[in-house]
Amino acid sequence: MIRKNTAPAAPETEQNKEETPLKIVILGAEARYRRYLPDLPFARAQEPVYLDKDSTEEQILAAAPDAEALFVDAITPVSGALMERMPRLRLIHSEGVAFDRIDLAAARARGIDVCNNKGCNAAAVAEQTVLLMLMLLRHALEGDRMVRQGRQMEMKERSMVEGITELGACRVGLVGFGDIAKATAARLAAFGCEICYYTPHRRAPEEEARWGVTYLPLEELAERCDIVSLHCAVTDQTRNMVDEAFLARMKPTAYLINTGRGDLVDNLALRRALEEGRVAGAGLDTLAPEPVPADHPLVDLPPELRDRVVLSPHLGGITEGAFRRSHLHMWRNAERVAAGEKPDNIVN
């Protein structure tokens, strides 16, 4: 029989919030959680169980079968089978924004709230997005190598003939228009970019005007933009959305940026498009699967493609500021649950 969360709410007093214990399991590095522990009486009073983010379900159950809350890495799977064997579980909280590896339907059926840190890393990821765009446009990988090889003037002379495109001269298409895309739009506006966006449901004219963006259908965005930047969640509809058909619509001079999730891109389709010169390059902070193997089709590239693909190790959202905001939000949500209140940013 499925157990619903029907525990009565505790009295809403500050003393109660500070002293109510909550059995918390943290699937993540203890050193990181201790570094970013917020200055909240509730958080300091807890004694969480720390486990490696890759712990098996049996290891989790052996350590804390009576856990009431799970703090998990954004890429850590949490199955319905695990929830079924943790009858006191009331909260599963992603340390990041993503939550696609948590069984939302099973959590909903059992009355478990699943929460994320929506917006906490928006500024950080937006900076990484712009960095990848600039690195591609300015040929940063090749430039660094040529200078180290004593061939600075060779590349400089060639670049003056071939031309370097300024970011401000680009039409940038944002696929998705949540917190990160908006933060990216704000930064691109400072460069003078023309900014387009696509979402399944168009935003109100007032919101478009506020962010200085123009709506385009997805196919038209792919066809018209010099840079296509992915900022949407992974769903059944968006998984592998950048496929052969999508890439065929892009201009051969266009760049693809992905600071969203690796699962949005068909790896082999993108590699073929790069090999055949159907896209100019790609800047990728996220790849699927993760951890990324060395023989990944977008990592183990032939020499002629390596300067056209800029990779970063999924660090766009892991700045110090982003972690402090995220961990503060997680502990405040745990405090709400301990007090019998609803947490915020519930995604299920």
Residue spans of the domains in the chain: they are: 14-120+320-338, 122-311
162-177: pLDDT as tens digits: 999 999 999 999 999 9
What does the alpha-carbon distance between residue 277 and residue 259 come to, in Å, rounded to a whole number?
A: 22
Is residue 318 classed exposed, middle or buried when 0-12, 13-18 and 19+ CB atoms within 10 A define those classes? middle
Mean pLDDT on 36-55: 96
- Altogether, the residues listed in the chain come to a count of 348
Q: Band of the pLDDT at 19, cuts 50, 70, 90?
A: low
In 3-state terms, what secondary structure has residue 86?
coil
Q: Model's pTM, two decimal places? A: 0.86
Q: Give catalytic residue positions.
A: 261, 290, 314
- 13 confidence band (pLDDT: 50, 70, 90): very low
CA angle (58 as vertex; 53, 62 as ends), nearest 5: 95
> Shortest CA distance to 75 belongs to which of 342, 330, 289, 329?
289
| Topology (CATH) of 14-120+320-338 | Rossmann fold (3.40.50)
- Residue 213: strand, helix, or coil: strand
* Fold agreement between 14-120+320-338 and 122-311: yes
Could you tell me which residues are beta bridge partners of residue 115?
A: 93, 346
- The pLDDT tens digits of the residues spanning 110-121 come to 999 999 999 999
User: Does the domain made of 122-311 have the CATH classification 1.10.3720.10?
Assistant: no
Residues 134-173: pLDDT tens digits?
Answer: 999 999 999 999 999 999 999 999 999 999 999 999 999 9
- Alpha-carbon distance of 71 to 91, in angstroms, equals 8
Q: What's residue 74's pLDDT?
A: 87
pLDDT, tens digit (0-9, with 9 covering 90-100), for 260-309: 999 999 999 999 999 999 999 999 999 999 999 999 999 999 999 999 99
pLDDT tens, residue by residue, 300-327: 999 999 999 999 999 999 999 999 999 9
- The answer to whether the CB of 112 falls within 8 A of the CB of 92 is yes
Q: Which amino acid is at 264?
A: L
Quick one: which of 227, 8, 260, 15 has its CA closest to 133?
227
For the residues 187-198, what does the mean pLDDT come to? Answer: 98
| 118: three-class secondary structure by DSSP | coil
In this predicted structure, the answer to whether residue 6 has a pLDDT above a threshold of 50 is no
Q: How many CA atoms lie within 13 A of 78 on its CB side?
A: 35
